[in-house]
Structure 1
Amino acid sequence: MTAAERARDAENAVRTRHFRRVWGLPSTVLARSGWPADVGQRLHWHWNYWWQAHVLDCLVDAQLRDPSTERAGLIERYARSIRLRNFGKWTNEYYDDMAWLGLALERASRVTGLAAKPALDAILAELRSGWTEDAGGGIWWRKNDQFKNAPANGPAAILHARVGDLPRARELFEWMDSRLVDPETGLVWDGLRVDTGELVKHIYTYCQGVFLGTCLELSEVDAAARTVDAVATHCASEGVLHAQGTGDGGLFAGILARYLALAALQLPGEAAVTARRLVVDSADACAGSAVEVDGGPLFSPSWTGGGVVRDMSVQVGAWMLLEAAATL
């Protein structure tokens, strides 16, 4: 099976098992957060704003892989449904969540012509308001908090770069590079508690991914290559990216794979080779460990196998990986 066929099957599986109307309303669609869905998930009461942003981004991946009028219309309905389920707003209290949705909407606007300017304006205004000079700059993780982290600053930097605000993108990069990069390993730590000065040195795969994506947008080739090397050394076993559990963690390695695929296409030399190998080997393992059930492949949180789970995030993380591999 080709990489594109694997991505197609992952898309179809998520759409078949998870996509349903919102509150029964016509012309709406969102992904239920579990399968089989419990009562709260069937009603879309169980709400994961940032999971839905990644589903939208994966639909854009699929549209680039295999353009169709049907999917373009689905992308438009999906974006509208996110706003509907978010009670008429594009924004929420978490700067990382808003950056993720902004990235998906910006890509959809370029790929399908989605009218995303009002949404992007609202999101960018929130992200700009999240910047303060506390701890030398950066944006907060969420409103009324004392934590600044890579999961918020990374996607915000990528989004600012893509809409042309390179000065702010570079400020966000420089804050992360100076504050959150381990000088010994090159890995990106989670974040900084501003009130106490404590560095939270947890290592998450998606922190590496969003920092790598920032480096690529700003042509920071050395920092990007350093990050790819750190990932290969510390975040993979036998070339397969490490899993980080279920729930939110089900998306983490897929996010890293997305930006590793971009690195494979953009970086020179050995860094590109390493990034490509990580994505391709992870995709091979992911597809090989999937279980075939009604509706298509069901994926494990660990791409080397170890059981499947109900969480939609795990299935979308695998879909994201397989779309990334299809670009290579």
Structure 2
Amino acid sequence: MAENSDPRAPQNRSAGAPQDRAARTATGREPAPHRGPAADGESAASEGPRSARHRERSVASAREEASQRAELAAHSVLELFTHRLLGVPGTLIGEPAAPAPKELKTKVLGWNYWWQAHLLDAIVDAGLRAHREHRSELAREWLQRGHRLLRGIRWHNGGTYVNSFFDDMAWLTLAVRRLDALSREVAGTGSAPAQDAARTLYPQLRRAITAETGGGAFWSKRLDFKNTPATAPIALALAHAGQAQTSQRLLDWLRERLFAEGQGYWDGIKLVAQQDGTVEHRVERNLYSYNQGTVLGALLETPGADLEHAEELIGLIAEKMTTSLEVEGTPVRILNTRGSGDAGLFAGILARYLTQAARDTRLASTARATARDLVLATAELLWAGRREFDPDLPLNEDGVDVTEVRGTPVAVFSPDASRPTSQTLPAGAPVQLSSQVQAWTILEAAARLS
């Protein structure tokens, strides 16, 4: 898709035309079952020249297929959800749902700043994938798209990157640092818009960190909730900026105040004013998958952090944040992806940092393999349960075959990887941006691991 041709937003279209592709890959072939690394004793060194070449071809084929899957997810999100902000050239924004809401109030207030940050992260993923594959022109297009989205976020947010939620700003900080890194890879220099955003955002993140409750970061400017959703990504952002001591202090606070042995990281601590003038510190004991992911990422990025705890956390994620099911007689364990709204992003965030763990050679091989297998298995089921359709067909007109694809298809992915799209998104049902960015993120993660 050329950069100067905007992706088409759906207009009076059903985003749920019933064409499941659960039994086929994009090329029409039966999907091959995922196989992990060779078992002990099955090294490439013991293979003959012919089998070694066959293995190399198989790896290359798997890598190409994983890339094609991620490419379709990327194209689908752009096609179904993104457009110029108010038609202004050089901008991009993601609609919260497809079909897009028509009410002006919903468009203005329901745009979800932090969903846009994760959309930007996925755009960076696609750009880095194109760069790895030596598709330099495509990588530059993704970089330009990232700049357009960043401009759209600022304009939609009233000309600033600042808002009332510190976790929102932490997510965007992480995304713009990655956009800057993509620019260095693709263009040979940093991204001025990303650096400008970071200069605005980092001081905001530091203001969230106070002495109340012994440390940690506030969730919002109401200053009544210290929680993991803000503290962990802020710790990660500060680690990226070379502020390891502050990052470690935040990790220590999380470990001391919110980590539950055998469970994981709780949500946070609410500061509740009492009638006698005191403040009660009330622990919210909800466990959310994405919180485990951002703590894991901060542990991996902070110099000197406890990597044994990172391995422990991967084990807890596998135990507490997954679903076990049987696929064609084979037991499979995948990340929990059930959820709508904000929760539609949770497993994608977790998969991003599990992928980082799977590639980190400092970790034990068993922990790395667990992280890798969870991401790949989840990606496989998301792909198998997708629905493809032609977005340019008039799907609401009589006599139209909704299974027909004349042009380039788009795919809709199930918000629950354990069930196909035909069960979770009936024909005509609105599709949320969050769940589709989540699927895109997971498929990009699988491409990175292939």
Residue deviations 1:200-255 (CA, integer Å, cap 9, x gap): 11111111111111111124211111110001011112211112411000000100
Q: Distance in 2 between matches of 1:10 and 1:87?
A: 30
In structure 2, how many angstroms separate the alpha carbons of the residues matched to 1:83 and 1:297?
Answer: 29
Say which of 288, 292, 301 aligns to 2:388.
Answer: 292
> Which residue does the alignment assign to 1:224?
310
Q: What's 1:245 paired with?
A: 339
Match of 1:323 in 2: 444
CA drift at 1:288: 0.9
Which of the two has greater helix per residue?
A: 1
Would the aligned equivalents of 1:289 and 1:303 in 2 still touch at CA under 8 Å?
A: yes
> Separation in 2 of the partners of 1:232 and 1:43?
37
Pick 1 or 2: higher relative contact order, CA cutoff 8 A, min separation 6: 2
Contact 1:23 1:44 in 2 (8 A): no
Identify, as 1 or 2, the structure richer in strand: 2
Find the counterpart in structure 1 of residue 116 from structure 2.
52
Is residue 114 of structure 1 aligned with residue 191 of structure 2?
Answer: yes
Matches within 5 A, 1:256-275: 256-266=350-360, 267-275=363-371
- Supply the distance in 1 between the matched residues of 2:130 and 2:106 (Cα, whole angstroms): 31
Matched, 1:283 2:379: yes
Aligned partner of 1:241: which letter?
Answer: L
User: Partner residue of 1:182?
Assistant: 260
- Contact between 1:147 and 1:194, CA under 8 Å: does it hold in 2? yes
Q: Structure 1, unaligned stretches of length 5 or more?
A: none
> Alpha-carbon deviation of 1:184?
3.1
Structure 1 pair 324/229, CA: closer, same or farther in 2 (3 Å)? same
Point out 4+ residue stretches in structure 1 off by more than 6 angstroms. Answer: none
What aligned pairs does 1:148-163 form with structure 2 within 5 A after superposition? Answer: 148-163=226-241
After alignment, is 95-104 or 15-24 more displaced? Answer: 15-24
Deviation of 1:122 after TM superposition, in Å, equals 1.5
Task: Give the 3-state SS of the residue equivalent to 1:66 in structure 2.
Answer: helix
**Counterpart residue number, 1:254:** 348
Rate the CA distance shift 1:23–1:44 in 2: closer, same or farther, 3 A: farther
Are 2:100 and 1:4 equivalent residues in the alignment? no
TM-score, length of structure 2 as denominator length: 0.71
Match of 2:222 among 124, 141, 144: 144
Identify the range of structure 1 (92-101 vs 237-246) with the bigger mean alpha-carbon deviation: 237-246
CA distance, structure 2, for counterparts of residue 202 and residue 282 of structure 1: 23
Q: Which residue of 2 aligns with 1:62?
A: 126
User: 1:307 is matched with which residue?
Assistant: 424
Which whole-Å CA distance do the structure 1 matches of 2:313 and 2:440 have between them?
Answer: 23
- Amino acid of the structure 1 residue aligned with 2:118: H
Q: TM-score, normalised by structure 1?
A: 0.96
Give the match's secondary structure for 2:266: coil
Quick check: 2:225–2:270 contact (8 Å CA) kept in 1?
yes
Aligned AA for 1:69? R
Highest Rg: 1 or 2?
2
What amino acid maps onto 1:193 in structure 2? K
Distance 1:315 1:189 in 2: 26
| Alignment size in residue pairs | 327
State the partner residue of 2:84: 21
Matched, 1:103 2:174: yes
Contact 2:382 2:417 in 1 (8 A): yes
| C-alpha distance in 1 between matches for 2:104 and 2:440 | 20
Sequence identity (%): 37
| 1:42 Cα deviation from its structure 2 partner | 11
For structure 2, list consecutive stretches of 5 or more residues without a partner in the other structure. 1-24, 26-64, 132-138, 184-189, 273-279, 325-332, 391-408
CA distance in 1 between counterparts of 2:79 and 2:165 reads 30
SS at 1:303 equivalent = coil
1:33 to 96, 102, 107: 96
The aligned amino acid for 1:188 is Y
C-alpha distance in 2 between matches for 1:142 and 1:320 = 26
Amino acid of the structure 2 residue aligned with 1:270: T
1:212–1:227 CA contact under 8 A, matched in 2: yes
Is the deviation greater in 275-284 or in 295-304?
Answer: 295-304
Whether the 8 Å CA contact 1:22–1:43 is kept in 2: the answer is no
